[in-house]
Structure 1
Amino acid sequence: MSHDHSDSPEQILTDLLAGNDRHVAQHDESEFDAVRDAQSPPVVSVCCSDSRVSQEGMWDVSEPGQLFTVANIGNRSTVEVDGERVLDGGVAYPVTFTDTGVVAVVGHTGCGAVTAAYEVVTGETELESLPPGVQQDLDSLITMVEEAPVDLGGEKSAVVDRLVEYNVREQCEFVSGETDAAVYGFVYDFHHRYGDQDGRTYLVAAGDGDPADLVGKEHRDAVRSLL
């Protein structure tokens, strides 16, 4: 399904329903039997809600019950409750109630939310000019930018992508301290910032250890860092 702004809402609706027809046709009648009454996904993926980043697509997951997905601008794994930073419910729920043992935090190059937070901190954008909901979502990202050990004075796109990686690492550090799940941090690259393959996810964080120690030789090239 591919559209542009010239397509009418009715045409997009028709295409959505046609896409669901194809989705239904691809499923075996018994495919949901094992997960119809309960779920126990091995992984919860926390990803940016950017339209260019498909969570199921990047991991080549097509079977139901395999991936618990959380999406928001800036791939945030935490939320503030009564002044305290806690795990977002989308992460806390699966690791608490569905025996999910792995958390994957996925940022992406050219992230609009991180860019917006950067622009607020550098004075390029007034926070009050943004929709209230966006202001709230940017709050923790603005703090991240202010505290990041990244020189904000460099070339903008390069600075933003370093902040993207730092945000992933910072999110992973917090989640690791709040849960017994294994936590891995990735950056989805479609700007050739880490390499020359569109859609490659690069492992940038893995708990307190060296990510390279956790992967085989066939995936060593997927372990990289901008920091």
Structure 2
Amino acid sequence: MNTTVVELLEGNARHARAFADRFDDVQDAQRPDAVTVCCSDSRVLQDEMWGNDEPGRVFTAGNIGNRVVQRTDEGEAVSGDVLYPLAHTGTDTAVVVGHTGCGAVTATYGKLTDGLSEPAGIDHCLDLLAPSIEPGLAALPDGLDDEAAVNHLVEYNVDRQVAFLLESDEVPDGVDVVGGVYDFQDVYDGGRGEVHVINVDGERRVDALRDAHPEVDGRIDRLWEY
């Protein structure tokens, strides 16, 4: 057996021992408190970032670029893996989480500015992401290097994904939509691994967010108010 798979199974055995008695209440149904839409980057630990060890609490959706959009025969729609818990399990909170140094945003930035080419499957994902990033290019502050530009566009992309959910008729009324950035590169003030809230139901202004949510005002921050 592949050594990596052996190691994964060893880790799973530890997981199974630790979690054996934690599935009793979710045997037949789930009612997660939140759906999180995170980048599938291996450095983004989707449950661990929340300290979550409770099965059934968080419905996790992951893809490159933390996208909430998919293309259908009828046009763009909310991705089914995001919409399902909102439409069917009573989940009333959606959290879109980008991350510093995002490879998907970097690649899309390269595609839009330098014509970067990727294999068809990756290119398809970048094409889905591009409409959420391209308008931000012209608005970027002057003098940014590529690394800083990408981190600004990470925020811009999160904002656009949040907006898509808020504007969609498919998302039930009353769903709270929050956007954040997971930082493991010391880009924001705070500890590595912290999620910084940058958007709540479309509000992006840091001062307004801190006034509205004083219980987490230390976790509200942005690189870019535009």
Q: Could you say whether these structures have the same fold, taking a TM-score greater than 0.5 normalized by the shorter chain as the test?
A: yes
Q: What pairs with 1:51-130 in structure 2 (closer than 5 Å)?
A: 51-82=42-73, 84-123=75-114, 125-127=115-117, 130=118
Asked whether the 8 Å contact 1:152–1:159 carries over to 2, the reply is: no
**Equivalent of 2:140, from 150, 170, 184?**
150
Q: Which runs of 4+ in 1 moved over 3 A?
A: none
Match of 2:149 among 159, 169, 194: 159
Offset at residue 198 of structure 1 (A)? 0.4
- Asked whether the 8 Å contact 2:107–2:116 carries over to 1, the reply is no
Q: Under a length normalisation based on structure 1, what TM-score does the superposition of the two structures give?
A: 0.89
* Runs of 5+ consecutive residues of structure 2 not aligned to the other structure: none
Cα distance in 1, alignment partners of residues 188 and 23 from structure 2: 38
Give the alignment of 1:202-213 within 5 angstroms.
Answer: 202-209=196-203, 210-213=208-211
Aligned to 2:213: 215
Structure 1: distance between partners of 2:107 and 2:74? 23
The equivalent of 1:224 in structure 2 is 221
CA distance in 2, matches of 1:51, 1:96: 28
Read off the aligned partner of 2:6 and give its amino acid letter. Answer: T
Count of residues in correspondence between the two structures: 214
Query: 2:187 maps to which residue?
Result: 193
TM-score (norm 2): 0.89
Q: Is the 8 A contact 2:162 2:202 kept in 1?
A: no
Greater alpha carbon shift after TM alignment, 66-75 vs 135-144: 135-144
1:215 maps to amino acid: H
User: Can you list the C-alpha shifts for 1:157-199, whole angstroms capped at 9, x where unaligned?
Assistant: 0000000000001100110122221000000011111114100
Q: Return the alpha-carbon distance in structure 2 between the equivalents of residues 152 and 117 of structure 1.
A: 19
The residue that corresponds to 2:8 in the other structure is 16
Question: Are the equivalent residues in 2 in contact too, given 1:185–1:204 (CA < 8 A)?
Answer: yes
Identity across matched positions, percent: 39
Structure-1 residue corresponding to 2:127: 139
Post-superposition shift, 1:214? Answer: 4.2
Distance in 2 (alpha carbons) for counterparts of 1:126 and 1:152: 23
CA deviation after TM superposition for structure 1 residue 28, in Å: 4.2
* 1:17 maps to amino acid: L
Aligned residue for 1:6?
A: none
Per the alignment, do residues 153 and 145 of structure 1 end up closer, same or farther by CA in structure 2, a change over 3 Å counting? farther
CA contact (8 A) 1:172 1:185 kept: yes
Q: Does 1:42 align with 2:33?
A: yes
